[in-house]
A and B are shown apart, each in its own frame.
Chain A
């Protein structure tokens, strides 16, 4: 079965900190995605990557960056965390275009 693993289930950080959320997949997925999930807003795409060292902005990239140095790892970076970035963050992998995405368990991030 496909496995997408997010390093932390819960994370608490302070305003202004640089925060790293890590995601690893073991199914040789070409494409990887970072979303945030908020009540009433559904899932919103932050960034995605279709290859190593390649990245594309999603719908809400402001305040975030990403890194994909190896195919299996896709990191989301909050450059200077703010309270409005408190949310559930979901990572997903996808084998190829138009295929279903496979999600990790999510990281619930609180910025105090």
Chain B
């Protein structure tokens, strides 16, 4: 069965510290993974997708098929990074399976 697991519901780090949001997936096919972010009072929006292999707002994520992981990382956290983050797996051509989400808080 397809499943996305984000083990941390809450994550709190200090400004300037590195941050890593964990995401593990279970899928028998070739995975296509996304990170979505929801800032306070804003709509859910795409942060990055693994096939783009790009850095958005300083965040990167590498697909590790051996560990079935797609962790989101940023070397130096900023206060504006505080938000809800969701990892999502594309299954079939259209559907996304979302993880439970991690609320990231950056402390000044």
Contacts and interface: CB of A to CB of B under 8 A. Distances in A.
Interface residues of B, number: 23
Contact of B100 (A31, A41, A97, A104): A41
Interface stretch (B11-19, B57-65, B72-80, B89-97): B89-97
Interface residues of A, number: 24
Given A42-B86, A42-B100, A103 B94 contact: no
Contacts of A84: none
B49 A100 contact: yes
B32 interface: yes
Nearest to B93: A97
B94 A48 contact: yes
Contact of B46 (A41, A45, A100): A100
Interface of B: 4, 6, 9, 32, 34, 43-46, 49, 86, 88, 90, 92-101
Interface of A: 31, 33, 35, 40-45, 48, 50, 58, 90, 94, 96-98, 100-106
